[in-house]
Structure 1
Amino acid sequence: MRKKIDITGQRFGRLIAVQEVSSKGHHRCYLCTCDCGNTKIVPMDNLRNGKTKSCGCLNREMTSSKNTIDLTGKRFGRLTVLRRSGGHHKTQTKAIWTCQCDCGNVVDVLSTNLTRGETKSCSCWKKDNGYALFQYDRSHLLVDGVFFPLLKSRVRFDNPTGVKGITIDRASGKYRASITIRRKRIYLGRYAKLQDAVRARKIAEDIYHKPYLEG
């Protein structure tokens, strides 16, 4: 009869087999202690063939070592890296760095977000760009309170008539025409025929929109 193999007390990488425990399916398993202090139940075959060498700490250390590039002092957009943060990303495989923004705020940022250019500030960059865009719009695209690019916007995709400013009145089944200027909607009437509603809308555009588009 073939003698049963006993690996109790043997070392496999960072693991020492303490005692055999209940099998998983057809695989014999051992309770092992790791050099880091953790315990782990491992199939005996995985220990003997070198597939499992630790409780998992070895793999975490190897993965973490890929993220040990020192970014201290480097600059990414408005951010200057001060130090590596003590925090951990939920995957525990990505380094987090504490950065100071030019505006004075201090934030923690993932290394990948810095190196890929996805994060360039504490968020003040977006705020400043938004304000700059607002200033540009107010200086170049706003005339007498009218944002004239909206006057040239396309018809809404859900408009059943296919004509801007003309909808169908459900109660009467007629075509309702309107036009908006300075955030105020002006009602132009209901029409039995679409072409009549279109004509009314065109007249209103000449009166209310054309001066701004030609100005």
Structure 2
Amino acid sequence: MATWRRDGRLTGSQRLLCAGLAGTLSLSLTAPLELATVLAQVGVARGHARGPWAIGRRVWRAEGPRALWKGNGVACLRLFPCSAVQLAAYRKFVGLFTDDSGHISQQSSIVAGSLAGIVSTIVTYPTDLIKTRLIVQNMLEPTYKGIFHAFSTIYQQEGFLALYRGVSLTVLGALPFSVGSLLVYMNLEKIWNRPRDQFSLLQNFTTVCLAAAVTQTLSFPFDTVKRKMQVRRCLEVFVGG
């Protein structure tokens, strides 16, 4: 069991700002890998290049170096509202799972985090769909001129529901994501053979990486199908350009 305590060292806005800045930096550094992953998932790279390095090199040659960061702007802008909604939802779910003595089990805490992630993803899902389409389109002959143009074009041409195409896969993918998190965090003390409050900085970092690897692997098939659904009606136009 764990006790839920509010961390008084930072205000809520300061925690949100720190999370947003850290997320912006990590997204910007890994944007070319995200681009290669999305292009491989939706099938744009099929028959042309294999592997993230080959896909990235192909995009660089065809559209220029800036193309490696397609969609990164909307991904970074999405961080702040997504983090705010997730933090608010997490506090609500923690309150539901906390007993009268102020304790919450580790399993309940992870479930609360997963549910909060689902809520924030659903609320900000249109920005994720727009990011995917910006990544897939040819930067030299763009269908969408920017975030707001993409939003209005999709809404006018395909309808409001098109902005949420594939969102059901996000909800379904939350189950293996939660299971992966539980598998890792429930066995941390066995992995490191010491109490959790004695973990070193390196052990905590390794744990986060391990949890991310396990959860991403388990939920990746759902993410792949989601990406295909997001670009299904416009993929031929993008590739043809």
TM-score by length of 2: 0.19
Over alpha carbons, which structure has the higher Rg? 1
Higher fraction of strand: 1
Pick the structure with more helix per residue.
Answer: 2
